[in-house]
């Protein structure tokens, strides 16, 4: 069970809105600067994962700290100078890890969550494996189990959009 993203080559409350605003104005540098400062703030408070990439470290450290009942098994290989925008990394990792954690927290008292992440100049490969007991589908789409479907259920759409923008593929296996 898991999700895998292959690419060839809303994390915090206030930051998401600023990122959207600056992203729409094509001011990616300003958005990245804000994201970087947020990540550095997180890293000064807790440091469990240290890949050398502040944004990736902040995402994993935040998720691990917030989900103490989940045993994160990480295989992270991050090269410098990769070509993926910071806001795309946050959306990809944030949504997929959140989905896995929510599934585990809903269905299990404690469990393993396996994450393999390889980023080079040419490739982004993310594989997340987690057990689940409950899943809701419509055709080949996975739907949110939350009651508020208006404000939830867009994470995988965002992941698919981003991966498509980079010419990659998303493969979700529910076997």
DSSP string, 118-145: EE-SSEEEEEEE---S--EEETTEEE--
What three-state secondary structure class fits 168?
Answer: coil
141-172 pLDDT, tens digit per residue, is 665 666 665 555 577 788 889 999 999 988 87
Q: Is residue 36 predicted with pLDDT exceeding 80?
A: no
Strand partners, 117: 76, 126
93-141 pLDDT, tens digit per residue, is 999 999 889 888 888 888 899 999 999 888 889 999 888 776 666 677 6
CA angle, 60 as apex, 54 and 61 as ends, to 5°?
Answer: 80
Question: How far is it, in rounded angstroms, from Cα 30 to Cα 26?
Answer: 9
């Amino acid at each position: 069970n898991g999700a895998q993203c292959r690419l060839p080559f809303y994390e915090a409350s206030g930051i998401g809105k600023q990122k959207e605003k600056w992203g729409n104005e094509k001011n990616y540098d300003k958005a990245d600067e804000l994201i970087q400062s947020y990540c550095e703030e997180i890293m000064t408070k807790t440091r469990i994962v240290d890949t050398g990439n502040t944004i990736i470290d902040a995402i994993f450290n935040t998720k691990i700290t917030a989900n103490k009942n989940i045993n994160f098994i990480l295989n992270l290989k991050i090269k410098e100078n990769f070509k993926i925008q910071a806001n795309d990394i946050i959306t990809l990792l944030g949504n997929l890890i959140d989905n896995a954690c929510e599934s585990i927290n809903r269905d299990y008292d404690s469990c393993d969550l396996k994450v393999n992440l390889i980023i080079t100049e040419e490739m982004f490969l993310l594989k997340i494996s987690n057990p689940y007991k409950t899943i809701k589908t419509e055709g080949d789409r996975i739907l949110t189990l939350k009651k508020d479907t208006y404000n939830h259920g867009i994470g995988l759409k965002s992941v698919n959009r981003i991966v498509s923008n980079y010419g990659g593929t998303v493969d979700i296996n529910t076997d």
